[in-house]
Structure 1
Amino acid sequence: MKASTERKVIRWGHIILSIPVIGYIYGPVAQLHYAALAVRWVFFPIIVISGFWLWKGYWVKKQFKSV
């Protein structure tokens, strides 16, 4: 997979997974027990990891390439 395609896929996944977080903050998702757990323990960590990958993924790849 080309780097530009990988970046687009990760970026869109990051954006799509952010929608439930917005619902958690501004909507009634916080009152729904299972939805709140999914946002806290599944969606948010994936969003954070994908954000860091978009930010520093090239550096991580470079570090593993040199090993």
Structure 2
Amino acid sequence: MISDATKRSILRWIHIVFSIPIVGYIYSPFKELPNYAPVVRYVAIPVIFLSGLCMWKGHLLRRLIAKRSG
């Protein structure tokens, strides 16, 4: 079983890696924005949101899932 510290570390790295396209979106030339927009909108932001939510309130989510299954 994976420890809580390892889970937090994995989520933290996912959060950091998927924020890189946002930096490219912000600092890219205006002509290149259409190339970055779908990746940022439909992949990066949802993954960042979900990983941040899991890091912030993951303990409550796990508790809810455990109550329903048990």
- Mark the CA change 1:29 to 1:46 in structure 2 (over 3 Å): closer, same or farther: farther
Percent identical across equivalent pairs?
A: 39
- Mark the CA change 1:14 to 1:60 in structure 2 (over 3 Å): closer, same or farther: same
Counterpart residue number, 2:54: 53
- Normalised by the length of structure 1, the TM-score is 0.85
Contact 1:21 1:43 in 2 (8 A): yes
Q: Which moved more, 1:45-54 or 1:22-31?
A: 22-31
Contact 2:25 2:33 in 1 (8 A): no
Residues 12-31 of structure 1 mapped to structure 2, 5 A cutoff = 12-28=13-29, 31=32
- Normalised by the length of structure 2, the TM-score is 0.81
Root-mean-square deviation (Å)? 1.8
Q: CA–CA distance in 2 between the matches of 1:7 and 1:24?
A: 27
Where does structure 2 lack aligned partners over 5 or more consecutive residues?
none
Where does structure 1 lack aligned partners over 5 or more consecutive residues?
none
Q: Give the total of aligned pairs.
A: 67
